[in-house]
Every structure is written in C-alpha cells, then in structure tokens.
C-alpha cells in the first residue's frame, strides 16, 4: 500500500520556493525525515532522507563515539587550555560533501558550576588537580565535526546537595586522565 504524499499547488510554487520550503521544514520540523511526508508539487523530484542518523561511529585511534549512555560524553577544545564537555544526542551524516565533509555530531553542552559553597575549597583543588570538572545539566545545543572532539569522558551523577548546589550536577573527567586516579584505589 502506497503512502500518499501531501501535494502542494504546483502553480503557486516554483523550484526556488520549493527549495526554501524544504530548508524550512528541515530546520523547523526535523521529525519529518520520511520524504513521503514532506509536501511537494506533483512534477517535483522527490528527495530522499536529507540526513542519515548513526547510533555510533568509529573515530581515530579506534575510539567509538556513541549517542547511547553511558558512552555518550565527549569533550572538545574550547580554547588553548580549556575544553568543554557535552552529551552526544545525534550523529548525522548529511550525505553531501559539498555541504559538510564527514558526520556532524549534535551535542548538548554542559556548563561548569561557577559558585560553590564555602568549605569546599579543598575539594575544588583536588578536582582541578585531576582535571575533574563539576558540571551542571542546564545545557545548550551545538553542532560540531568529529575532528573537533578531543576524546571521551567519564562522569558520575551527583545529588544536588552533595557539592552545595541547588540543581542536579555531575563530576566529569576525560577518560585518558583517569589513569592517574589508580593511586587512590
């Protein structure tokens, strides 16, 4: 059984307007991934899925990036010395090298907790020494290339009260820095 696609008035929609409509739908209604559900004039060439989503992908040095927890935390460069953690929510391949080379990773950025209660100074020094960051789950969304990712991260969810914060937080650390913590076991 064929699925009937919504048809729009072909006289009122030229090729340029149709392209603009598709771009608008891709941005505003990303759930319309099936070309049969995207409106198009009868004479148009129906486009296929505009992006292919991946559950995971292999990256350099055999690292596997995934959008499934608990392996979905990455960190990337934010400056000369700083880096930023984020959760991978989607890995997309646009299938068009003219638009973008390689997969695009959709990341929910995590932000460092700036103010901590008094009495946690020693904890802060320890976290800084081992490259562990105290992060909050109020995040913004960004799109980055795979090459922008420095590596994977490990994290521990913390109760809100544990480090004197109101919101649920977590402690995160690049996996390659966890080797040094073996001294404390």
- 41 shares its domain with 87: no
Taking alpha carbons only, the member of 94, 74, 128, 82 closest to residue 26 is: 94
Q: What is the pLDDT of residues 22-43, one digit of tens each?
A: 677 767 766 665 555 555 555 6
- 46 shares its domain with 18: yes
Q: What does pTM read for this prediction?
A: 0.62
Structural domain including 88 reads 52-184
Would you give the distance in Å from CA 110 to the centre of its chain? Answer: 11
- 8 shares its domain with 93: no
Q: Judge contact between 41 and 13, C-beta under 8 A.
A: yes
Phi, psi of 29, rounded to the nearest 5 degrees: -130, 65
Q: Assess whether pLDDT exceeds 60 at residue 60.
A: yes
Q: Assess whether pLDDT exceeds 60 at residue 181.
A: no
Domain count, the chain: 2
Q: Judge contact between 56 and 64, C-beta under 8 A.
A: yes
- 25 shares its domain with 73: no
- 176 shares its domain with 136: yes
- 155 shares its domain with 171: yes
Taking alpha carbons only, the member of 87, 88, 174, 181 closest to residue 136 is: 87
């Amino acid at each position: 059984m064929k699925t009937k696609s919504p048809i729009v008035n072909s006289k009122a929609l030229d090729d340029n307007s149709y392209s603009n409509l598709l771009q608008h739908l891709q941005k505003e209604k990303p759930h319309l991934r099936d070309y049969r559900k995207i409106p198009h004039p009868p004479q148009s060439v129906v486009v296929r899925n505009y992006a292919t989503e991946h559950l995971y992908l292999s990256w350099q040095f055999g690292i596997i990036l995934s959008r499934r927890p608990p392996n979905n935390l990455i960190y990337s460069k934010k400056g000369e010395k700083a880096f930023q953690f984020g959760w991978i929510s989607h890995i997309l391949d646009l299938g068009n090298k003219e638009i973008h080379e390689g997969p695009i990773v959709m990341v929910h950025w995590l932000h460092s907790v700036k103010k901590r209660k008094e009495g946690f100074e020693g904890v802060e020094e320890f976290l800084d020494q081992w490259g562990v960051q105290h992060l909050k789950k109020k995040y913004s969304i960004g799109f980055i290339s795979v090459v922008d990712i420095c590596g994977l991260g490990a994290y521990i969810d913390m109760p809100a009260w544990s480090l004197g914060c109101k919101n649920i937080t977590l402690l995160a650390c690049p996996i390659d820095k966890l080797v040094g913590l073996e001294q404390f076991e």
